[in-house]
A and B are shown apart, each in its own frame.
Chain A
Amino acid sequence: MSKRTGTFYINLLLILAVIVLAVSPLVIKKGSEFGGADAEAQKVAAEVSQGYEPWYQSFWEPPGSETESLLFALQAAAGSGFIGYYFGYQRGRKKEREKN
């Protein structure tokens, strides 16, 4: 049992670390100027575009960022739904086995 709770705390720490890593850029960036990375990406894109045009367009694109975020959210939700189903199924299976 103690081993199991140990893993629980490790998993909790892992989730915390992920949140810190994902949120800290928002805090760190706040004071500084946004220019740096953007300007750098612009330079590369400008160099890429020099004398070169995409030769094929997507035949369908989301009309705007709202629809795009809807589809991205749908993608994440569908995946999460399956992940939840999987672990629920495994948990139930394990319990059933322990009963027998």
Chain B
Amino acid sequence: MAGQAVCLSVGFFIIMAVFPENVYAMHIAEGFLPPVWAGIWWAAALPFFILGMKSIQKKVSEKPGLKMLLGLVGAFAFVISALKVPSITGSSSHMTGVGLGAILFGPAAMSVLGSLVLLFQALLLAHGGLTTLGANAFSMAVAGPLVSYGIYILMRRLKSPLWLAVFTGAALGDITTYLVTSAQLALAIPSASGGFAASFGKFAGVFALTQVPLAVIEGLLTVLAVNLLAAHSGEEMTHLSVLRKEVRQ
């Protein structure tokens, strides 16, 4: 028992020395997923990326004026995902910022922009990694935006006010990203005793719990961004059906 504990702590310190904080910062660190899983997630994320490229091309050729706004939602994700915010659990994490783009341009477009943010962080910051880019893109650039968009559309259909639909969509999309990350880690590295469920519970306990207040912040910031865009880019927002035509003066 004692030997096992020593082995564990030695292993832990090696990991900590190699990955000072990336292990549970947010994205899955380079080389942390076994090759099979790294490949599976790359294959899972790639079709969304291709769909996204097509979706962006279509939207921009329809209305070239949207290019600037596309840049803006990309910049929003870029800024937001650079900020590490303290949470009540005593650790820090960062938001995703992809909810805004998903609500405006749809989840496919965001899979491209989110992946670009992840690529930057993987190459320049050693935050996340190239082998795990597929997995991280799937959680942050595919699953998160899909949930954000789905919740937003559903709530709008149910006649929810715009701000509430935006807030809920962005916040739940943020949480989803972390739940998917937990699931990816648990699938690749199931607990020896309790299998996937036990491992997932542990990872989600660290990732998702820390993320709860941050998800609320992301929801609030996304509402703020939509408010500002409604005031300054009414035309584009109407074109993207975020604002109704009759609302516009």
Q: Give A54 to B199 CA distance when docked, in angstroms.
A: 18
- The interface bits of chain A over 20-52 (1 if a CB of B lies within 8 angstroms of the residue's CB, else 0) are 011011101100101011101111111111101
- Least Cβ–Cβ distance between A5 and chain B, in angstroms: 12
Instruction: Answer whether residue B47 sits at the interface, using C-beta atoms and an 8 A cutoff.
Output: no
Contact B126 A37 (CB under 8 A): no
Q: List residues of A (2-17) whose CB comes within 8 Å of B's CBs.
A: 4, 7, 10-11, 14-15, 17
Contact A50 B11 (CB under 8 A): yes
Instruction: Answer whether residue B43 sits at the interface, using C-beta atoms and an 8 A cutoff.
Output: no
Contact A18 B221 (CB under 8 A): yes
Task: For B24, list chain A residues within 8 Å (CB).
Answer: 41, 44-45
- For chain A, the bracket of interface size reads 35 or more
Contact A65 B20 (CB under 8 A): yes
Q: Is the interface of B mostly helix, strand, loop or mixed?
A: helix
Task: For A62, list chain B residues within 8 Å (CB).
Answer: 124-126
Task: For B112, list chain A residues within 8 Å (CB).
Answer: none
Residue from B16, B20, B32, B77 in contact with A54 in the complex, judged by beta carbons closer than 8 Å: B32
Task: For A73, list chain B residues within 8 Å (CB).
Answer: 82
Given contacts A40-B206, A47-B199, contact A72 B125 (CB under 8 A): yes
Contact B213 A40 (CB under 8 A): no
Instruction: Answer whether residue A100 sits at the interface, using C-beta atoms and an 8 A cutoff.
Output: no
Instruction: Answer whether residue B41 sits at the interface, using C-beta atoms and an 8 A cutoff.
Output: no
Contact B18 A57 (CB under 8 A): yes
Q: Give A25 to B78 CA distance when docked, in angstroms.
A: 24
Instruction: Answer whether residue B91 sits at the interface, using C-beta atoms and an 8 A cutoff.
Output: yes
Task: For B122, list chain A residues within 8 Å (CB).
Answer: 58
Q: Is the interface of A mostly helix, strand, loop or mixed?
A: helix
Instruction: Answer whether residue B68 sits at the interface, using C-beta atoms and an 8 A cutoff.
Output: yes
Contact A47 B90 (CB under 8 A): no
Task: For B60, list chain A residues within 8 Å (CB).
Answer: none
Chain A: CB-nearest residue to B8:
A46
Contact A86 B126 (CB under 8 A): no
Contact A45 B12 (CB under 8 A): yes
Q: Give A41 to B82 CA distance when docked, in angstroms.
A: 22
A-B pairs with lowest CB-CB distance, top 9: A56-B31, A79-B79, A54-B31, A37-B90, A79-B78, A61-B126, A82-B75, A75-B82, A90-B232
Listed in ascending order, the chain B residues whose CB lies under 8 Å from chain A are 8-9, 11-12, 14-16, 18-20, 23-24, 29-32, 34-35, 68-69, 71-72, 75-91, 120-126, 129-131, 185, 189, 191-192, 199, 202-203, 205-206, 210, 213, 216-217, 220-221, 223-224, 227-228, 231-233
**Can you sample 30 A-B contacts with CB below 8 Å?**
A10-B227, A18-B221, A21-B213, A25-B87, A36-B89, A36-B90, A37-B90, A43-B202, A45-B23, A49-B8, A49-B11, A50-B8, A50-B11, A54-B15, A54-B18, A54-B29, A54-B32, A55-B31, A56-B30, A58-B31, A58-B122, A58-B129, A60-B124, A71-B125, A72-B84, A75-B82, A78-B78, A83-B76, A86-B69, A86-B72
